Amino acid sequence: MSKNDNAAKTPDPELGGPAKGNGIRQMELDGLVDDVVAGSGKPDAGPDDMMQAPGRMFMPSNRELVIEQLAALVLSPHFPTAPATPVATTRPPFIVKDGLSSTEIDILTAGRQQRFPVLVEVRADAARSSSGAIGVRDVLGLRFRNQGEADDFRCLPFDEMDTAFFPCEAEPALFALDSPVRPRDTEGDAGVLDAHARGEFADRIAGAVCCLLELGAAEPACWAAISDLLHAVPLAEQAAGLELRTLIASTNGPTAGIGDAVARTFMAYEREAPGRLIDEVARRAAESSSDPALTPALSRWLEVARGVLGNRVALNGDILADGGSIPLRAAILAAVVDDVGNLVPFLHADRPAGHRVVTAAALLLGLRTGLRNLSWSRKVLHLDLLSDVVFGLHDDRLSACVKALDGFSLEPDETAAGVEFLLCWRSQVLARWASCPACPDNASNLQSAPLLQADHVDVLQTEEPSAASPASNASFLTAPNGRRIEVIQTTGGSAVISLRVALEEGEKLRKVKEIFEAACRPGIRWRVGTAEDGHSALYMDLPGARSELALQEAAETLSGALAAYVVPPKAPRKKKASASRPRKQGSVTE
């Protein structure tokens, strides 16, 4: 990140004030504002003059701690330091503007030579969250006592943070302050545990965002499912309770459903063995619902999951299809696989996994790992995006945290010939994909009990389809409005039934923008696609085994989908009645 990339930002008046417990007094901030107005130093200032230059701000740290702080892409008073670490009144303030004294350096280093002090310089006008956090985009560079320590730091091999990414400069005068130890403001320290928990939660959510973006880059066919989990469109039933906005909004409340239970388990057990993780998922999922029908389904799921861990059950599309409970199926995959790159082969196996299951597994891997533990090479690809997200999540107010993902948007691409979508982060286009039968971007409600039953029925299917059997067979049913619906059932691989309704002669689809808006409405489960003959059609995918009740329910929704996607026929014009002309006198009538 170059200094030119750090565009000046005006702090939010509501967020820019000092948070309680961050060690900065209001009078100090007022003084900084005056310093910034007065100027930021002379162009030809030397190191000693730079130390006195008004408007400079630093975060005191040491060689070990600063790695964790920068790897998390946020500077926080309470994170990622351990929650049990006491806040001593003799500890240097979180932010200083004039350097460190020798006594404060001793406190930071704890007498260990290798833990030398580091000052992280940030912009004087850096925005502050309500918890006092500063985004890594406002970091100007790292300052050291001498060039030897700067070179030593720059050569450290760390996977989570590139030590050569930020400018490292020696400024001895910053470490020779002649002053007593400044007391750290401990007002509000009673909430330091909560502050650390919020920081940990923010790190896990940002880690999930990073892993989803990484999966999309490796497997573009997953972008539709990724968009649902980022919750750019309010179709929560497609994501089965794993969409990130729902996880953020429910962080302080009781567990809300199976998806929330699975997500919280992966966040709570970072380094747990797969077997213990699976057992805990089953326990929390059972506690999340009072439905007695859920107990046998979870018991069956636990049996299958343990079979996978014991190499008694094959981990393939039979149990990873986009049917049944997406969160529970993804939990099995995420417990076995420890890297997003290792998820992609499951999509291209002989019995491929479903795109939604694999995408949900990537999210769970991110929740379990956290942003600061991911490699720098993965984070740097979306550094600005991730730093903005994690900064927004470091807020004391839940309403502000939910808005941390507001930068994501799903928009129709009206320049495309067909129906295509754009996933954007603010003005940056992240991905583009088309709505087509190969990408089931409208799924039914995956949290319902009948779909949990699909886990019980289909999860242990091991018989290979015969070579002579067709790839699929089709039947037909009639909708209440008289339209013919083609039912296409795959006989091998993933258990998914596709419904298709061809447009009749004379029917025209609405404009792309209108189709996009219709697809976002609650209850519209059909999608627009293109048949093999090139003509437009409506599609719906029903995961799991064939159910006549599910087919009938789908047929009943066809009329609403046709009204939403198809231009209504024009009413025939009524012929104007011509006025009878009066006969001319003397005319012959016969």
Domains in the chain, ordered, with CATH?
Answer: 3-187 (no CATH), 195-406 (no CATH), 469-565 (3.30.1460.10)
- Burial of 228 per CB tally in 10 Å (0-12, 13-18, 19+): buried
Please list the residues that pair with 412 across neighbouring strands. Answer: 421
Nearest to 356, CA basis, from 405, 317, 321, 324: 321
Residue 13 DSSP one-character state: T
H helices within 143-219, ranges in order?
147-154, 192-218
| pLDDT value of position 544 | 61
Q: What are phi and psi of 126, to 5 degrees?
A: -60, 135
What angle do the packed helices 257-268 and 326-336 form, to 10 degrees? 20
The answer to whether residues 333 and 346 touch, using CB atoms and an 8 Å cutoff, is: yes
From first to last of its 590 residues, the chain has per-residue pLDDT tens of: 443 343 333 333 333 333 333 333 333 333 332 332 233 333 333 444 444 445 799 999 998 889 999 999 999 887 876 443 444 444 567 888 888 888 888 888 887 878 899 999 999 988 888 888 899 999 999 999 999 999 999 988 889 999 989 999 999 999 988 877 666 554 444 455 577 888 899 999 999 999 999 999 999 999 989 998 986 444 444 445 677 887 887 776 667 788 889 999 999 887 788 999 999 999 998 888 777 777 788 888 999 999 999 888 889 998 999 877 899 999 999 999 989 999 999 999 989 999 999 999 999 999 999 999 999 999 999 999 999 999 999 887 777 787 888 889 888 876 766 667 888 898 888 988 876 433 333 332 222 333 333 333 233 332 333 333 334 567 888 988 899 999 987 554 445 678 899 998 889 888 877 776 777 676 677 888 777 777 888 888 776 667 788 888 888 889 999 999 999 887 766 666 555 555 555 544 44
Helix (H) or strand (E) segment spanning residue 21: none
Amino acid at 216: G
Q: How far is CA 333 from CA 14, 143, 224, 365, in A?
A: 43, 44, 20, 10
Neighbours of 273 (CB within 10 A): 11
Q: What are phi and psi of 454, to 5 degrees?
A: -60, -35
**Cis-peptide into 13, omega within 30 deg:** no
Non-local (6+) Cβ contacts of 455 within 8 A are 297, 300, 301, 304, 324, 325, 328, 329
| pLDDT value of position 228 | 87
Neighbours of 402 (CB within 10 A): 19
Non-local (6+) Cβ contacts of 350 within 8 A are 316, 493
The answer to whether residues 231 and 244 touch, using CB atoms and an 8 Å cutoff, is: yes
Sheet containing 420-425, strands listed edge to edge, beginning at the edge strand earlier in sequence: 408-412, 420-425, 428-434
Q: What are phi and psi of 281, to 5 degrees?
A: -60, -45
Nearest to 394, CA basis, from 77, 84, 126: 77
Record the tokens describing residue 511, joined without a space.
């404009």
d(CA 238, CA 228): 7
What is the rounded end-to-end Cα distance, in angstroms, of the chain?
99
Tokens 């302050």 sit at which residue? 177
